[in-house]
Structure 1
């Protein structure tokens, strides 16, 4: 199936396209169609994912898949959450976002370091599809006191995976793509597609 991948995030594209290809999707990035990103006005990840997918369907006439995801830190009451991509004020400023998180964590006395990456993926057949396929993935970890590793993107250098004993930025790309929140959401999407009417 040919579909539009409703994101301009290069990291997400690199992570999702190979997994989607294995599932039989020809995922075309929305940048190839030249339309603007949807305005993310939702109050939840699923609302924003639906807005992005619907926007892509309307502009292309093709089915669309969108991901809305973020980092949820317990000690910061769930921040950066929905505004993970522009937590420090500028969209996509990974270094600024990381610096802000680390400064806020450092200001707390003995903070709980637990955190999780969350991903919600939505697939719409068309813009008015009343039955979207919705999948989610959660990756539990901890916030490191300083960045480690230079792989991945976004908050990966400060997200510690206890199971593998390193930051997300230190994991091999293939392994990270499989165990990440987005990888888990895509795996759930595959299962749902197998039974979807």
Structure 2
């Protein structure tokens, strides 16, 4: 990807925007709020469908190369919840803490301190809203969700997600390390590699 390329990151989530700025260093990134673009209606039934909806919406409104992601936490032991509903797990206007608390409540109901879980990110890159060949990349990071909340960094479920091979929560891991191991970082590296091959 050429340096200084103008890219729309089709999100209003400030946490995601910060991560993308670090991952796509050297490019001029915009988010939806920068261009006064409203959020797309996410009514897909999978991470991929939602990422495509957001990418097409952003590209149509901005006429810029657009990257969109749909990501979330998956806990197989909780019927694969929250999945595509991760951002609104505890309700449409739920805060990150509300969503984390709902997971903790469910663990407490099951009398469990932790459960296997993983973060997933599906990234889509498109040149324009009718791009017939979108670039698609997926990243995952496995670990556990816990009733123990810790750390000051990150966002979403990071304070209760403990990655494999780490004895601290995702929210306690330094940003420089998180930007190498996170589901979004893994998907971004794949996306960049695919972009270079395709264009």
TM-score (norm 2): 0.94
- Post-superposition Cα deviations, 1:38-82, rounded to whole Å, max 9, x if no partner, equal 000100001100100100111111111001000000110110000
Contact between 1:160 and 1:167, CA under 8 Å: does it hold in 2? Answer: yes
Q: Residues of 2 paired with 1:195 and 1:153: CA distance?
A: 32
TM-score (norm 1): 0.94
Secondary structure of 1:140's aligned partner = strand
Secondary structure of 2:147's aligned partner = coil
Cα deviation for residue 162 of structure 1 reads 2.6
Q: CA RMSD in A?
A: 1.4
Secondary structure of 2:151's aligned partner = coil
Q: Residues of 1 paired with 2:55 and 2:153: CA distance?
A: 28
Within 5 Å, give how 1:141-160 maps onto structure 2: 141-160=143-162
Contact between 2:113 and 2:147, CA under 8 Å: does it hold in 1? Answer: no
Question: Given the alignment, which residue of 5, 9, 13 partners 2:13?
Answer: 9
Number of matched pairs: 195
Cα deviation for residue 126 of structure 1 reads 0.2
Question: Given the alignment, which residue of 72, 75, 79 partners 2:74?
Answer: 72
What 5-or-longer segments of structure 1 have no aligned partner? none
Q: Residues of 2 paired with 1:126 and 1:107: CA distance?
A: 47
| Greater than 3 Å deviation, 4+ residue runs | 109-112
Q: Residues of 2 paired with 1:196 and 1:111: CA distance?
A: 45
Within 5 Å, give how 1:27-46 maps onto structure 2: 27-46=29-48
Q: Residues of 2 paired with 1:108 and 1:162: CA distance?
A: 22
Cα deviation for residue 111 of structure 1 reads 7.6
Contact between 1:146 and 1:158, CA under 8 Å: does it hold in 2? Answer: yes
